[in-house]
Amino acid sequence: MTPTCRHLSNGLTVLCYPNPAVETVALGLWTGVGARQETAEHQGVAHFLEHMLFKGTKTRSARDIAHQIEAVGGHLNAYTGREVTGYYARVLGDDAPLALDILSDMVQHAALAPDEFEREREVILQEIAQAMDMPDDVVFDHMQAAAFADQSLGRPILGTRETVGAMTPKAVRHFLTAHYRGEHMILAASGAIDAERLTALAEQTLASLPGNPPRATPSRPNTKKPAPASSLPPSSLPPSARLPIIPSSPAARWIGGEKREKRPIEQLHLVMSFAGVSATSADYYGAVVMAIILGGGMSSRLFQEVREKRGLAYSIGAHYSGWSDAGMMTVHTSTQAGHVNEMIAVLCDEIAALASTVRHDELAAAKNQCKASLLMALESTLGQCEHMTRSLFRFGEIIPPATIAKRIDTVSVADVQRLAAEITRHPPALAAVGPTDSLESYSAVCARLN
């Protein structure tokens, strides 16, 4: 089976990946906006809106929404990201009309009632307080703030106590009307449903969503193709497929630096991040493979050296994050204060070694991990929806999994070594939470990388 792509007159994109082998369907509405579209004054508004869409519509209460989906054994959820927000349901195939009716009602007819608004403000403040109590959460927010200082990409998705405390219904309503429009959104479904049925349901429930007709030529600020067109096989979508128009945001600027927070806890939670390529770069999968070699599993360099050989930490890992115009490799761990500088030395030594020596066997293993992760995710109907929407938002087409696998296979030893050398050309972002007194200076850390 291959995905199909259609459009409503308001610009809404409808993606469908039928799978007759399953009896359930995952479907959802994804919008190409998130925390990056927020101002400093209104940080957290995208996440606040996500919460409010579950708090009732003109015809359904919050309890109605929960009861109706759970009465058919379904599951309803949402998430706010930095560039995308998603609302999705998983139900039996026969219940797809109900699930889409609920989702479309939430997006188009949110009540945003004042009493619910104030209650949800308190819920989100509790969510922020809970996150602030978790040093392994806080340290990542600190790292993001150091990496992209004074930018929306560096601010916490939840917002802060101050911005959420000052949030107004008017600001949330404005964000909804400005960004939840047909040309910004994708309806995606996978599983026990076909394109004709999905399109008919979309026409019934979403045709009145505000929006503009789809454009013949995609508008893609701050992005570029991952490689020359000649190097990629034809798209799995028909020529009529058009990219949803994503609102522009200021280009990301890597800053780097450090943020430390002293807390009276046993372990020092430590994160180091390094500037890298964007998710739309031809080098993206090389960067992912690089992170896997460094810290992607129990056989990785960092796990073997830090835990197995030296016993410096219970857990350590590395991962790669990419956005439309920025990316970074992140190493995360925690350790006793007395071990932290030895830990820093090991991290820096391993990153330096990666720029000069990569074995063919570890490269092959990392590429296999990368491909297996992709294919395992696609065995889920929800995973299929997220793959389709992510690909269309980033590239204007759905890149077939086989094409991605081929791109991973082309990553070479020289590619990994080159990318490893490039990530140390910018100042790292260092964040630490815990007993920070013994942690060496930021300049000393930087000196280890040069």
235 pLDDT more than 60:
no
Q: Are 121 and 164 in contact (CB under 8 A)?
A: yes
- Name the catalytic one among 23, 38, 50, 308: 50
List phi, psi (to 5°) of 243: -80, 135
Q: Tell me the per-residue pLDDT of 381-417, one tens digit each, with 9 for 90 and over.
A: 999 999 999 999 999 889 999 999 999 999 999 999 9
The arithmetic mean of pLDDT across residues 173-198, rounded, is 96
Query: Is 50 in the active site?
Result: yes
- The 10 Å Cβ neighbour count of residue 342 is 13
Q: Are 139 and 270 in contact (CB under 8 A)?
A: yes
Confidence of residue 227 (pLDDT cuts 50, 70, 90): very low
- 234 or 243: whose pLDDT is higher? 243
- 436 or 219: whose pLDDT is higher? 436
Nearest-angstrom CA–CA distance, 2 and 338: 55
Length of the chain: 450
- The 10 Å Cβ neighbour count of residue 403 is 18
pLDDT of 318 = 98
308 pLDDT more than 60:
yes
The arithmetic mean of pLDDT across residues 423-427, rounded, is 95
Q: Tell me the per-residue pLDDT of 120-151, one tens digit each, with 9 for 90 and over.
A: 999 999 999 999 999 999 999 999 999 999 99
- The 10 Å Cβ neighbour count of residue 186 is 25
pLDDT of 215 = 66
218 pLDDT more than 90:
no
- Chain CA centroid to CA 444, Å: 32
Confidence of residue 450 (pLDDT cuts 50, 70, 90): confident
Q: Tell me the per-residue pLDDT of 353-378, one tens digit each, with 9 for 90 and over.
A: 999 999 999 999 999 999 999 999 99
pLDDT, the chain, mean: 92
pLDDT of 200 = 97
* Helix segments in 88-168, DSSP class H: 96-108, 114-132, 135-147, 161-165
pLDDT of 228 = 29
pLDDT of 359 = 96
The dihedral over CA atoms of 312, 314, 319, 323, expressed in degrees to the nearest 10, equals -110
Q: Tell me the per-residue pLDDT of 242-276, one tens digit each, with 9 for 90 and over.
A: 567 777 788 999 999 999 999 999 999 999 999 99
pLDDT of 99 = 98
* Range scoring the smallest mean pLDDT among 168-177, 231-240, 246-255: 231-240
The arithmetic mean of pLDDT across residues 96-110, rounded, is 98
Confidence of residue 195 (pLDDT cuts 50, 70, 90): very high
pLDDT of 324 = 93
Nearest-angstrom CA–CA distance, 281 and 290: 15
231 pLDDT more than 60:
no
Assigned token pair, 335: 């350790």
Percent over 70 (pLDDT), the chain: 94
The arithmetic mean of pLDDT across residues 101-112, rounded, is 97
